[in-house]
Amino acid sequence: MRQKIVAGNWKMNKTLDDALALASELIGMVNDEVRGDVRIILCTPFPYLVPVARLVGNHAMISVGAQNCSEHEWGAYTGETSAPMLASLNTSHVILGHSERRQYFGENGKLLAAKVDAALKHGLTPIFCCGEPLEVRDRGEHEDLVRSQVEEGVFHLDADALKKLVIAYEPVWAIGTGKTASAQQAQDMHAVIRQQIATRYGQATADEISILYGGSVNAGNAKELFAGNDVDGGLVGGASLKSREFTEIVKSIL
Ligand code: PEP
């Protein structure tokens, strides 16, 4: 059985007090209302990883994740945060290759492959993001682009390492725009990714990997988007900043 996952990407939002209030509300709602097998990952800004992790404690369902890490382990890289640093904070997951990092910070496949290696080496679970801009979909080249992102970022791994990953399909045109892929478009792309993994690593490996949909998921559309056979949950941006809405999204996967 693949793990069902709902991850919140808080991006660069919230003061510390607001972040702690959001985390406390969420923990309370999850405790009161969420019953079932789902992993909830709160991907906070770096400065809030430790205080949010303290609030979360050893929660059975909730983990804390970062939104990026360096490809380097240590040294003279001013402003960077490395995988071993995150591991020392008890951070369990790290988002890698988010389209905002690809677009605004020039992250490419080669760099992301190195970041994936760094994360895995230190026991972090990468949430590896892929997805096409609108013009690529309009040209009908979205499957090819996403396949090449997956191949460049993670196909250097052996099957045992690959099985430790979570993949997030996030069409760029749906991120923060209020436009979502249709449930069919999401399922189709998840199936393409799973088939690509099956072709390279075998069906058994492909069947173990959780593939999340991201792109304007909210409490109103989550159930439909999560219904596809190959959709194992979501990576949620804007709607993860509201405790009630995020809790409803979590409940939609169960
Ligand atoms: C994201 O940042 O990964 C994301 C999917 O954002 P949003 O839900 O706001 O579209």
Q: How many whole angstroms from its chain centre is CA 85?
A: 20
pLDDT bin (cut points 50, 70, 90) of residue 24 is very high
Strands 166-169 and 211-214: parallel
What digits encode the pLDDT tens for the residues 58-99? 999 999 999 999 999 999 999 999 999 999 998 999 999 999
Give yes or no for residue 238 CB within 6 A of ligand 1: yes
The atom of ligand 1 lying closest to the CA of 218 is 8
208 has catalytic annotation? no
Which pair of tokens denotes residue 62? 């909730």
For residue 72, count CB atoms less than 10 angstroms from its CB and return exposed for 0-12, middle for 13-18, buried for 19 or more. middle
For residue 188, count CB atoms less than 10 angstroms from its CB and return exposed for 0-12, middle for 13-18, buried for 19 or more. middle
What digits encode the pLDDT tens for the residues 185-196? 999 999 999 999
72 has catalytic annotation? no
Mean pLDDT across 23-35:
98
Give yes or no for residue 228 CB within 6 A of ligand 1: no
Query: Token pair 């399909």 is at which residue?
Result: 169
195 and 182 Cβ atoms separated by less than 8 Å:
no
Q: Out of 71, 107, 132, 170, which one is annotated catalytic? A: 170
pLDDT at 180: 87
Beta strands in 44-165 (DSSP E): 62-66, 93-96, 125-130
Name the nearest CA neighbour of 153 among 190, 120, 199: 120
CA distance 9 to 66: 9
Residues 6+ apart with CB under 8 A from 78: none
Give yes or no for residue 176 CB within 6 A of ligand 1: yes
